[in-house]
Amino acid sequence: MENGKRNGAVIYVRVSTDEQANGPLNLNNQDKRCREYCRQKGLSILEVFVDPGESARSTDRREFQRMLAFCKAHRRDVGFVVVQDLSRFARNLQDQAQTINELGRLNVLVRSTYEPNIDETAAGRLAANIYGTFNQYFSDALSEKMIDRTRAAVSAGRFPWPAPIGYRNVGDRSGGPNIVPGPDRAPLIRKAFELVASGLHKNADVLRMITEEGLRTRSNRPLSQQTFHAMLRKPVYCGWVCPPSMEDLRVKGQHEPIVSEELFEQVQQVLSGKRLSAAPKRKNNPAVPLKWFVKCEVCGTPLTGGFVKGRTKKYVRYWCRKKSCLAVKLSKEKLESEFVALLRRLRPTPETVAAFPKIAAKVWAEKQGDAEKTINKLKARLEEQKRLKAELLKAKLRGEVSQSDYAQANAEFAADMSATVEQLRAATSNRATLETFLRFAELLLMDIAGAWQIAGAEQRQRVQNLLFQDGLHYSPNSGILNRSNSSLFSMLEGLTDEKCMLASPAGFEPALPP
């Protein structure tokens, strides 16, 4: 016991890296030396705190903070904090001084097994400050060397950190790539980028899908939403190495990209909200296809619809959305069965059926001709954008373009290409064959109720709007009403002679797949 001081002691041991854990500073060696010191000084060990793999450049260490809290909570028992040397305690002179003073106010003293001349005398405090200064110097010098080594590795196109999800580290000492795509995770990463870039899925849904297919972290845990979002933002996946602490450094990596730069830029556009995504803003709920299409007969307000919670389960219903009215309230089954019954009553005249193939073929030829021209123009524009983007990269590699100018121009090219690809995708998706269109048109004419029932959510909306451009009304007393008394058939009946077939019916176009 030192000078009648409380003889309770806590031991604190720490290493910064796995390499230190296997060297002379390993945790077991530190623990043994501190225990021997306590035995020689007659100190009773109350607790041992271990920080494996923690830097001492700050006091934000889990076990270090627990040690301080323990000393405060047991101030009547703890008299000493024992460390192997002050570099284990702190590598920042200011943190060391503040913590020693904080413990001193609790009458807790810091003792080092390698530095016995540290005490509460003027000479002892000077020695502690000298040791602390040297410890901080060595830490700062090592940090500078690591920054230089990192910059050199990045400049050579290498990735000097643990491999990101989807890659694995390889021990290439020849200066080649030190990360390669993993055979299990890389395809799932690529699929995640493709799904997000499509704009058809929410990020949470994409994460759920690839998690179900087996994507895990290196510790074999599912990715969190935050980790997944950060992953989609990392340029390493399209072949670039960009240290987060070196904003001026962006180097083409030696490693194999998992996704193309075009695909990566499309994802960035989606994440930044600069590219339309169909999933988050879907207006049409497939469970209630007649929502907004049918209006309340009493007040003229379009009906809304959705799930309503009952006593034991949820039900799908339609109702008038105007609070001062609410005249229409009915189940999904009732409204949709009445709508199907109305469709079954619709029958085209024989003349309309006979003339319709000519009308449809004429409309098809006009629309498809325009579509082909549009697609060819978009393809030519995309190829030109790719060529200019490649020329920009060559100019950058030749040193003719600065990094800042390259980054700005490259981002503009990526945005333009993303918009063009989106337009091309939309235009291509509307192409079909005349035979397919005529088959669907025949089904639409002869069995309109069947066509609506087998259609998907988006197709149902198109069928409804094509048949009844002004929508329908619903009366609590009379059911579904066609107030405008118009439908596609009434429009087509005026187009059965050759003169009328010189013009295409307005609003009628081959936009529906089979």
Number of domains the chain is built from: 4
Same domain (yes/no): 235, 309: no
- 372 in any annotated domain: yes
Structure-block tokens of residue 469 = 């451009």
CA distance 463 to 268: 35
Question: Do residues 294 and 266 make contact, with C-beta atoms less than 8 angstroms apart?
Answer: no
Please state, as a whole number, how many other Cβ atoms lie within 10 Å of the Cβ of residue 57: 16
The radius of gyration computed from the CA coordinates of the chain, to the nearest angstrom, equals 36
Residue 490 confidence class, pLDDT cut points 50, 70, 90: low
Which of 20-29, 124-133, 304-313 shows the highest mean pLDDT?
124-133
Segment among 154-158, 219-223, 238-242 with least mean pLDDT = 154-158
- 186 in any annotated domain: yes
Question: Do residues 501 and 359 make contact, with C-beta atoms less than 8 angstroms apart?
Answer: yes
Structure-block tokens of residue 75 = 């101030």
What are the φ and ψ backbone dihedral angles of 117, each rounded to 5 degrees? Answer: -80, 5
Structure-block tokens of residue 356 = 């319709």
User: From edge to edge, which strands make up the β-sheet containing 8-15?
Assistant: 44-52, 8-15, 78-83, 109-112
Same domain (yes/no): 354, 476: yes
- 161 in any annotated domain: no
Residue 250 confidence class, pLDDT cut points 50, 70, 90: confident
Please state, as a whole number, how many other Cβ atoms lie within 10 Å of the Cβ of residue 121: 10
Q: Which residue among 141, 175, 197 closes a domain?
A: 141
Same domain (yes/no): 300, 433: no
Of residues 454 and 298, the one with the higher pLDDT is 298
Same domain (yes/no): 318, 365: no
Same domain (yes/no): 355, 322: no
Same domain (yes/no): 54, 83: yes
pLDDT score of 501: 42
CA distance 457 to 501: 31
Q: Summarize the confidence of residues 389-408 as an average pLDDT.
A: 78
**Which residues, in sequence order, are CB contacts of 502 under 8 Å at separation 6+?**
none
CATH of the domain at 203: 3.90.1750.20
CA angle, 276 then 277 then 279, to 5°? 155
Of residues 249 and 162, the one with the higher pLDDT is 162
- 247 in any annotated domain: yes
Closest Cα partner for 250 from 261, 258, 266, 263? 261
Same domain (yes/no): 381, 403: yes
**Which residues, in sequence order, are CB contacts of 342 under 8 Å at separation 6+?**
472, 480, 482
Mean predicted lDDT score pLDDT of the chain: 79
Of residues 14 and 364, the one with the higher pLDDT is 14
- 373 in any annotated domain: yes
Question: Do residues 321 and 302 make contact, with C-beta atoms less than 8 angstroms apart?
Answer: yes
- DSSP state at residue 504: P
Same domain (yes/no): 306, 333: yes
Residue range of the domain that includes 303: 294-341
Segment among 61-70, 81-90, 161-170, 451-460 with least mean pLDDT = 451-460
Give percent of the chain above pLDDT 90.
Answer: 27
Same domain (yes/no): 177, 250: yes
pLDDT score of 150: 73
Structure-block tokens of residue 503 = 């013009």
What are the φ and ψ backbone dihedral angles of 78, each rounded to 5 degrees? Answer: -85, 125
- 230 in any annotated domain: yes
- 508 in any annotated domain: no
Q: Summarize the confidence of residues 289-309 as an average pLDDT.
A: 87
pLDDT score of 418: 73
DSSP three-state, residue 316: strand
Same domain (yes/no): 494, 365: yes
Closest Cα partner for 367 from 355, 377, 359? 359
Please state, as a whole number, how many other Cβ atoms lie within 10 Å of the Cβ of residue 111: 20
Give percent of the chain above pLDDT 70.
Answer: 76
Helical axes 186-198 vs 261-271, angle rounded to 10°: 50
DSSP three-state, residue 167: strand
Question: Do residues 99 and 67 make contact, with C-beta atoms less than 8 angstroms apart?
Answer: no
Q: Residue 163: what residue type?
A: A
Output the pTM of the full model. Answer: 0.39
CA distance 467 to 455: 14
Of residues 342 and 1, the one with the higher pLDDT is 342
Closest Cα partner for 166 from 190, 182, 144? 182
Same domain (yes/no): 56, 28: yes
CA distance 168 to 159: 11
Same domain (yes/no): 369, 492: yes
Residue-wise pLDDT for 326-381, tens only, equals 889 999 999 999 998 888 877 666 776 676 667 666 666 665 666 677 778 888 88
CA distance 4 to 439: 101
Which residue(s) pair with 308 in the sheet? 315
- 510 in any annotated domain: no
Question: Do residues 75 and 108 make contact, with C-beta atoms less than 8 angstroms apart?
Answer: yes
Question: Do residues 126 and 154 make contact, with C-beta atoms less than 8 angstroms apart?
Answer: no
Question: Do residues 80 and 10 make contact, with C-beta atoms less than 8 angstroms apart?
Answer: yes
Residue-wise pLDDT for 462-477, tens only, equals 777 767 777 889 998 8
Residue-wise pLDDT for 115-168, tens only, equals 988 988 999 889 888 988 888 888 778 777 777 777 777 778 888 888 899 999
